[in-house]
Amino acid sequence: MEVIVAKTAGFCFGVKRAIEQVYNQIATADKPVYTYGPIIHNEQVVQDLEGKGVHVLESVEDLQKLSEGIVIIRSHGVGRAIYELLDRPGITVVDATCPFVKKIHRIVEEQQTMGRRVIIIGNPTHPEVEGIRGWGDERTLVVEHAGQIENLPVSEDEKLCIVAQTTFNYNKFQDLVEKFTEKGYDILVLNTICNATQERQVEARRIASEVDAMIVIGGRNSSNTQKLYEICQKECKNTYFIQTLGDFNPECVNSVRSVGITAGASTPNQIIEEVHTNVRVKF
């Protein structure tokens, strides 16, 4: 059996940077260490950090109750209001926001100041999108599906700035931008999808189109992994979404000649290697 592992699978730059910052704080901190939300969407990594004393703060209320500690902003980033809330005695902020997400924050703040209404293409409930929206104003909107464009509370004479969640599907982003263009809006389009995301999606699509079965590894709450799964499923009907080796069912690939493996940006290399080894050894 031929097994093809995507070269782009696993930790992206932003996730790797965030993880390293957490472990650095564990080694040097002189007070409790917290992350605002799970540092990345991977249960195994979060559990390992909890075992080393890192606590996850899940809500604004948790932040408000905190009187002392180091709070690490995860790679997804947060809105302006969270920074303001944490700016008080006893609290040290370590900002692990991905630089590519930070760039979107600056764009949104600048464009809304210049009078453009910002449209964010992405999942409205995803923490990255919630953070991006937190740098806009009351006019800032989030669009995920084409059907939403018809009913947007936007007047014909408004100027728009369109940005994207860094992990959004590139082809879907282009389709939605085209819909806005067809409506005749005055738009400034800034493709803020991370290059690593685009490369990962392109490679996953290519591999899935060439193999008999495709395995996509990542956390169940990982947006970019879910997008990889959707892309691969369109190219290969035998596509399987797993979190760890424990979710892998060998029977799903026991009668195929070739298997492809890719993984989301929050998937540790160790898990990818375990799945790869297991597929090769058994078949």
Count Cβ atoms within 10 A of the Cβ of residue 251 and give its class: 0-12 exposed, 13-18 middle, 19 or more buried: exposed
Cβ 34 vs Cβ 26: under 8 Å: no
d(CA 21, CA 11) in angstroms, rounded, equals 14
Q: Which has the closest alpha carbon to 117: 199, 200, 187, 36?
A: 187
d(CA 106, CA 32) in angstroms, rounded, equals 30
Edge to edge, the sheet with strand 159-164 lists 141-143, 117-121, 159-164, 186-189
Q: Is 128 a catalytic residue?
A: yes
CA–chain centroid gap for 77, Å, is 10
Catalytic residue among 128, 130, 144, 203, which?
128
What are the helix (H) ranges across the chain?
A: 13-28, 43-51, 60-65, 80-86, 99-113, 127-133, 170-182, 195-210, 223-235, 269-282
Indicate the helix (H) or strand (E) that contains 73: strand 69-73
Q: Which has the closest alpha carbon to 77: 117, 118, 39, 31?
A: 39
**Residues tagged active-site:** 128
